[in-house]
Amino acid sequence: MISSQAPVLIPITFLFAAMLIPLVGAVHRAAAHLTAVLGSALALYFSVVGMQATLAQGRISYHIAGWMPPIGIEFVLDPLSAFICALLCGITFIVMVFGKRSVEYEIPQKEIAFYSLSMLLLGGLAGMVMTGDLFNLYVFLEIGALAGYALVAIGDKRAVVSAFRYLVMGTVGATFYLLGVALIFISTGTLNMADIAQLMPLVHDSPAVIVGLVLIVLGTALKMALFPMHAWLPDAYTHASTTATALIAPIGTKVSAYVLFRVLFFVVDPDHLRTEMLNLLQVIGYLGAAGIIWGSIMAICQSELKRMLAYSSVAQVGYIAVGIALASPLGFIGAILHALNHAVMKCCLFLVSGNMRMRLGHSSIPQMNNGLRKSMPWTSAAFTLAAISMIGLPPTAGFFGKWYLALGAIEQSHWIFLTALLISTILNVAYFFRVMERMYLKPQEPGAVDYSEQTVARNEAPASMLIPTLFLAISLLVLGFANAWIVSNLIVPMIPGWL
Amino acid sequence: MIEFIQGYYAYIFLAATFTIGLYGMMMKQNLMKKVLGMSVVAACTILFWIVSAYKDGAGVTVLDKRYGVENPELYLNPLPHTLMLTAIVVAVVTLGVALALLIGIYREFKTLDEPTLLERMK
């Protein structure tokens, strides 16, 4: 029963929670956080049920108000959207549990607005993942984006400026997307993705369709911060509050990447993609490869932990773009697996930076020393594990995404992509070991004579923040060991048949 | 050439206006002008949808007794117009959020000029 309604229940749950939180918060302040946690837990439950049903019986399609697909709006849960949806609901639940103390500390008096907006953001993103209609996707994209701008603006003093920059870039992206949809609508006369996919072979030569696809790819690339269009991302991530960053960074760009997957692999005519549109894929891939190198180099130059992680996100989006550009089963697996791994590890790293801000008051790398290891042993351990995973050392999850991408690049003899992957691994080592060296080895200031355990008080983050961080860190190991199971059971069913 | 311009003059006009809007967003240093450029770009996109649904000699999508239902070319496609109602709402909301952010920036830094703003943010 629930499973057949799951596609529409998940966004509705988030949107309903977003409306409920201001009402509940007006009665009792603390209840706002509880509602957000319960809302995301409910959505997580629905998404898990939906994913099980999808794997058991295939595609679930929900028709809004009973109107049949080519005319009515369709919500679809197929293996790909079910997977991405479960991922974003899971991350949201963990971040919401984490959020209580962090939000109270960083943005006091704004909790109710914050939780309401974060539910609205998730409602928009979940809707983007579920919908089977290109225009509906635009509406959800704007719901999520507007909530995202406001979430970024609730931050430190400079956050308003970075939120404004984010808004300008995001609106350009959404406008390009809408123009692209217009051109495709003019040529095919329908907005339903499955319907367009059927009609595409008839019109794929028309210039309008090609320009439309390029505009859609351009708009989505702006939203997912593909290399030359990433300028909004570092500022927005740095100045927002930790919880907002931990929500937007792992999920926001992934959902835009999902739209790219959906349009390129499920809407465009496969034969056409293989021949003429290949240039478009190549451009995406080379931009991704350039972004991998550029993001990693910029990350080395940063002195603030959150800013470094933001630039590293630019690089990680590049991996997904490379996976899309390979357009082979291995590339597809690599890109999806990397989206999962990156969401978990980047979320974990941002939570670590939140823990540091809570206890040290800063997350500036030059000020760190080995007192950190003594005062916050668990946080440091979580950071180390996530950093190892980001670099891509074998038992952790990060390795396997890169491994499939590298195999895909070798299979098609794309040596430029392979080189970019290898160089970026070395650069990742450089910027993560720089932090770990300070965290574990650099002695404290010479003024403090005694370096023994007694001088540094144990000052770990509160349990409600520490447990989510550790949970994410440990799940990186679990994901790493379970990667064969995840690939064969979850990712292989979602590969389109023609690939 | 003349036929091309006559056939597509609305699209040519929209492309020119879109470019002007993008220019304003990218090149102008006053943040308010960036918002104006953004508004122009959004309006162009909405007009593009509406122009695409236009047909010579067709009327509104209400059943007319004189024409009946035999000639669909006498009616416009209503879908783009209805969709653009939603897009207009979205554009207005985006404009509202942008203006709210501008008020926030002005309260914090007392300027909307980008070079001065970058100077004061240091």
Label residue A367 by pLDDT band (50, 70, 90): confident
Q: How far is CA A275 from CA A155, A159, A204, A322, B11, in A?
A: 47, 45, 11, 18, 30
**Beta carbons of A138 and B98 less than 8 Å apart:** no
Alpha-carbon span B112 to B29, nearest angstrom = 9
Residues of A in Cβ contact (< 8 Å) with B14:
none
For residue A455 the two structure tokens come to 């001088």
Q: Is the pLDDT of residue A90 over 90?
A: yes
Q: Does A71 touch chain B (CB under 8 A)?
A: no
Q: Residues B19, A325, A228, A314: what is their CA dihedral angle, to the nearest 10 degrees?
A: 140
Task: Classify A50 in phi/psi space as left (phi over 0), alpha (psi -120 to 50) or beta.
Answer: alpha
Label residue B1 by pLDDT band (50, 70, 90): confident
A464-473 mean pLDDT: 89
Chain B residue closest in CA terms to A181: B49
| Encoded amino acid at A335, one letter | A
Instruction: Considering only the beta carbons, identify the residue of B41, B90, B101 that sits closest to A163.
Output: B101
pLDDT in tens, A133-176: 999 999 999 999 999 999 999 888 888 999 999 999 999 999 99
Instruction: Considering only the beta carbons, identify the residue of A138, A146, A182 that sits closest to B94.
Output: A146
**ipTM score over 0.95, yes or no:** no
Residues of A in Cβ contact (< 8 Å) with B48:
179, 182
Residues of A in Cβ contact (< 8 Å) with B97:
146, 149-150, 167
Q: Is the pLDDT of residue A454 over 70?
A: no
DSSP state of A396: S
Alpha-carbon span B101 to A153, nearest angstrom = 8
| Encoded amino acid at B111, one letter | T
pLDDT in tens, A263-313: 988 888 777 777 777 788 888 999 999 999 999 999 988 888 888 999 998
Pick from A337, A94, A163, A126: nearest CA to A252: A126
Whole-prediction pTM value? 0.92
Percentage of residues in chain A having pLDDT higher than 90: 34
Alpha-carbon span A128 to A332, nearest angstrom = 20
**Residue A220 in contact with residue A178, Cβ under 8 Å?**
no
Task: Classify B82 in phi/psi space as left (phi over 0), alpha (psi -120 to 50) or beta.
Answer: alpha
Instruction: Considering only the beta carbons, identify the residue of A153, A164, A178 that sits closest to B87.
Output: A178
DSSP state of A65: G
pLDDT at B49: 92
Residues of B in Cβ contact (< 8 Å) with A231:
none
pLDDT at A1: 66
Q: Is the pLDDT of residue A111 over 70?
A: yes
Q: Does A207 touch chain B (CB under 8 A)?
A: no
Q: Is the pLDDT of residue A473 over 70?
A: yes
Label residue B121 by pLDDT band (50, 70, 90): confident
For residue A275 the two structure tokens come to 């021949």
**Residue A145 in contact with residue A177, Cβ under 8 Å?**
no
**Beta carbons of B25 and A168 less than 8 Å apart:** yes
